[in-house]
Structure 1
Amino acid sequence: MTFSIAARCPETGQFGIAISSSSIAVGARCPWLLPGVGAVSTQNITLPSLGPEVLAMMEQGLAPAEALDKVLTRNGYSQYRQITAIDHLGQTAHFSGAQTLGNHNAVSGEQCVAAGNMLADRSVIEAMVQAFEHGEGQLADRLLAAMKAAIAAGGEAGP
């Protein structure tokens, strides 16, 4: 089980990612940020190289959707990947391969994009986005509100 949200503060240009997972060392494998460029979160049978590759494409001027398409096309096993991206303009993109585990969903919102797998319900991700969009305070506060909303909406499937 993993759910995450990548977001941007339009006032400061700051990026952030909040992620929760039952997988070990998620912080070393899934969130990727590059100041002035964007944020990428990779999950579901993670391939850590995808994050830096997508950020490199975005740094070259590609929109998040184009960057995801280009990187996933040249890397094998994209059907097992789940990935989100947001750039310095607030443009977002997401991808969930056909073999993404369990109930899964990905949703783009205003200055944010969230995704999850092995969820109690697809609405978990929708709750994250709504909480971020309607949250107040600094970026970190809004990211934490999104995570709390995900848990309140059911979080992961199973015990």
Structure 2
Amino acid sequence: MAATGDRRPALVLRGCRRGEVALEPGACLGPEQRERLHEPSLARLGSVTYSIVGRDEANGELGVAVQSRAFGVGFCAWALPGVGAVATQSFTERSYGPRGLDLLAAGESPADALAQLLEADEQRDFRQVAFLAADGRTAAHTGAACIPDCGHTGRPGVSAQGNMLASPAVWHAAADTFAAAEGTLAERLLAALDAAEEAGGDFRGRESAALLVVSGDREEEPWQRAFDLRVDNHAEPLHELRRLHRIAAAYRRRRGFDAQTSLEEEVELARAAGLPEDQVALTAAIAAGAHGDVDEAAARLRPVAESDPRWREAMERYVRLGFVPAAVLDRLS
């Protein structure tokens, strides 16, 4: 790195060919110039991306969603139950995640926590970071050396940010869509990513995406997550992330089965989500067990048990773990 006349950090690009455009802090690059950016330097960049941190006002869940043209963008997303969420990107310094959450857990406000970490970071001008506290307060930083278009927007309960994007419309679309969307926190975060992509996304294209959602209950263990999904390399990472979310949500629904659960509806949802047939059968058995219908639970599991004798061993474990009633085993033969 070197410094320009106004002392803003700049990148020294070696091996530029004639006609290639150098990257300078605050530069306004048009579409034609973006096509001529120095490719080897882009390959060495840290995660350049767009992200959103958000809170569910109803249940306090906290989450991060992110998409990038960079490989394996999931390491940008951090969250702790009942504490907060962090998105750290642009020549990514991962320590903003765990250290920021430690400061939030200790009672620091997002603004003060972020300021402390930025003060200690000599390369702060290259960073883009957003903090969200459990009470909905946010703080964000877009360094002077982040690659345009870059910026952030925040309001209570949400902050959207990005760099190396097609236009400022990207991060605004993410925040506006999140605020207007209905559904679970995960669904609203995914909707925000879709809106950001539709607004232009990362001008280089797309490659990876991630979704992280944790409980708003600080009593939850720090390793507990509602969703922790990553797409490290894919031609359509947002589509793939949605597919994984449908599967994960179908598994997660089992935890809430009770006497009011519609068995057939849950079977249909599990199959539509892409669960394998043995797991569709287990979904049905768990729903039947919640109704107290042991015969129905056994009937749903019997074809699976008969397909391979080793399934009976697995089902014995299901019983011991409380997934299905103990009487099911006696009715399988």
Distance 1:116 1:38 in 2: 19
Amino acid at match of 2:183: G
- Choose the corresponding residue for 1:22, options 56, 63, 69: 69
- Choose the corresponding residue for 1:79, options 121, 125, 133: 125
Amino acid at match of 1:18: A
Q: Which runs of 5+ in 2 are unaligned?
A: 1-47, 206-333
Q: Which runs of 5+ in 1 are unaligned?
A: none
Distance 1:34 1:155 in 2: 27
Match of 1:46 in 2: 92
CA contact (8 A) 2:69 2:202 kept: no
Q: Going by fraction, where is strand more abundant, 1 or 2? A: 1
Aligned-pair CA distance for 1:42: 0.2
- Choose the corresponding residue for 1:13, options 52, 60, 82: 60
| Structure (1 or 2) with the larger CA radius of gyration | 2
CA contact (8 A) 2:69 2:204 kept: no
Distance 1:34 1:82 in 2: 20
Q: Going by fraction, where is helix more abundant, 1 or 2? A: 2
Match of 2:176 in 1: 130
Question: Which structure would you say has the larger RCO, counting Cα contacts within 8 Å and 6 or more residues apart?
Answer: 1
Distance 1:10 1:94 in 2: 20
How many residues matched? Answer: 158
CA contact (8 A) 1:110 1:133 kept: no
Tell me if 1:105 matches 2:151: yes
Tell me the TM-score normalised to structure 1 length: 0.95
Q: Which runs of 4+ in 1 moved over 4 A?
A: none
Distance 2:156 2:170 in 1: 17
Tell me the TM-score normalised to structure 2 length: 0.46
Aligned-pair CA distance for 1:41: 0.3
Aligned-pair CA distance for 1:133: 0.3
